[in-house]
Amino acid sequence: MPEATAPIRHFAIAAALVLAALGGCARHRTIDSEENLLARRDRLAARNNEVIAELLAKLLERVRVEYEAKKSAGSNEPPTCDILVISGGGDFGAFGAGFLKGWGAVREGGLPRPQFEIVSGVSTGALIAPFAYLGDDADIADVVHLYTNPRPDWVRERGILFFLPANESFAEVPGLERELRTAIDDARIARIAEQGRLGRMLVVNTTDLDDGSPRAFELSRVAIRATETGDPSRMHKLLLASSGIPGAFPPREIDGGLYVDGGVTGNILYGGRLRREQSIGSLWKQAYPDLSPVRVRYWVILNNWLLTPPKTTQPNWVDVIARSVDLAVRSSTVTGLRHLLTIAELENLRGDYSVEVRIVAIPTAWRPPVEGVFEEETMRDLARVGEEMGRDPNAWIRELPE
User: pLDDT tens-digit profile of 94-142?
Assistant: 999 999 999 999 998 889 999 999 999 999 999 999 999 999 999 999 9
**Backbone dihedral region for residue 52 (phi beyond 0: left; psi -120 to 50: alpha; all else: beta):** alpha
Cite the DSSP H helix spans in 73-123.
93-103
The reported pLDDT for the residue numbered 10 is 44
Which stretch of DSSP H or E encloses residue 52? helix 34-72
Is residue 87 within 8 Å of residue 268, measured between CB atoms?
yes
CA angle 125, 402, 314 (to 5 degrees): 70
The reported pLDDT for the residue numbered 8 is 42
- pLDDT score of 17 more than 80: no
Which stretch of DSSP H or E encloses residue 40? helix 34-72
As a whole-number percent, the residues of the chain with pLDDT over 70 amount to 90
Is residue 224 within 8 Å of residue 193, measured between CB atoms?
yes
pLDDT per position as a tens digit, 164-219: 666 776 778 888 899 999 999 999 999 999 999 999 999 999 999 998 899 999 99
Query: Packing angle between helix 124-134 and helix 186-197, nearest 10 degrees?
Result: 70
HSE, side-chain direction, 13 A CA sphere, residue 268: 29
pLDDT per position as a tens digit, 301-341: 999 999 888 989 999 988 898 889 889 888 999 999 999 99
Cite the DSSP H helix spans in 173-254.
174-183, 186-197, 219-229, 233-242
Is residue 305 within 8 Å of residue 299, measured between CB atoms?
no
- pLDDT score of 28 more than 80: no
The SS3 assignment for 102 reads: helix
The reported pLDDT for the residue numbered 258 is 94
pTM higher than 0.85: yes
